[in-house]
Amino acid sequence: MTEAPVQRPPGAAGDVSFHDACTQCGDCARACPEGIILRDGEGFPVLSFAEGECTFCNACIDACEPGALNAGTPWLWRAQVGDNCLSDQGVHCRTCQDFCDARAIRFQLKPGGLADMSLDRDSCTGCGGCIAPCPVGAITLVQFKPETEARPC
């Protein structure tokens, strides 16, 4: 079974070269002004969007002396909404839209006061800002193909 990719800080190359280069020094986590870089079970940095979002400030990349994080590496993550979205179940909720600065999330009103949600992956930056505010944890980040979905970090 293939393991799901882990959300490393921006600039991390593929997992093999990242693991080779990262010394687990923690400098990236200390540099992150949003406090979203934690350590995984092995001590490697991993992103957590439980309380914040990535602003793509590149502070983590600048702090990484071993070169495990490199500017220009494509950021492949984009938001994806799960089946438990309240809006899909006829409950009024627009919270994620309110937190999306990129305006990637929109709602089209339907008869009866309901609304269809759409998430535009071309507009989504993969910042993760919509994840924590969602009251039911319906939003995750998933990776998409580099040739169509990448943005430089």
- Interacting stretch for ligand SF4, rule CB under 6 A, among 12-20, 86-94, 144-152? 86-94
Q: Cβ of residue 141: shortest distance to ligand SF4, in angstroms?
A: 7
Q: Cβ of residue 3: shortest distance to ligand SF4, in angstroms?
A: 22
Determine the Cα–Cα distance for residues 46 and 81; give it in Å rounded to an integer. 21
> What is the CB neighbour count within 10 angstroms for residue 64?
22
- Lay out the site mask for ligand SF4 across 23-42 (x = CB under 6 A, - = otherwise): --------xx-x-xx-----
State yes or no: residue 142 binds ligand SF4 (CB under 6 A).
no
What distance, in Å, lies between the first and last C-alpha atoms of the chain? 30
Residue 69 and residue 75 in contact, taking contact as beta carbons nearer than 8 Å: no
From residue 61, alpha-carbon distances to 40, 50, 64, 130 in Å are 18, 21, 5, 23
Can you name the residues that pair with 143 across neighbouring β-strands? Answer: 77
State yes or no: residue 22 binds ligand SF4 (CB under 6 A).
no
- Residue bearing tokens 């490393």: 8
State yes or no: residue 45 binds ligand SF4 (CB under 6 A).
no
- Lay out the site mask for ligand SF4 across 95-134 (x = CB under 6 A, - = otherwise): xx--xx-x-xx-----------x-x----xxxxxxx---x
Q: Cβ of residue 68: shortest distance to ligand SF4, in angstroms?
A: 12
Residue 72 CA to its chain's centroid (Å)? 17
Q: Which of 15, 90, 136, 152 binds ligand SF4 (CB under 6 A)?
A: 136
Determine the Cα–Cα distance for residues 66 and 54; give it in Å rounded to an integer. 22
The residues of the shown chain that bind ligand SF4, judged by CB under 6 A, are 9-10, 31-32, 34, 36-37, 54-60, 79, 81, 85-87, 93, 95-96, 99-100, 102, 104-105, 117, 119, 124-130, 134-136, 138-139
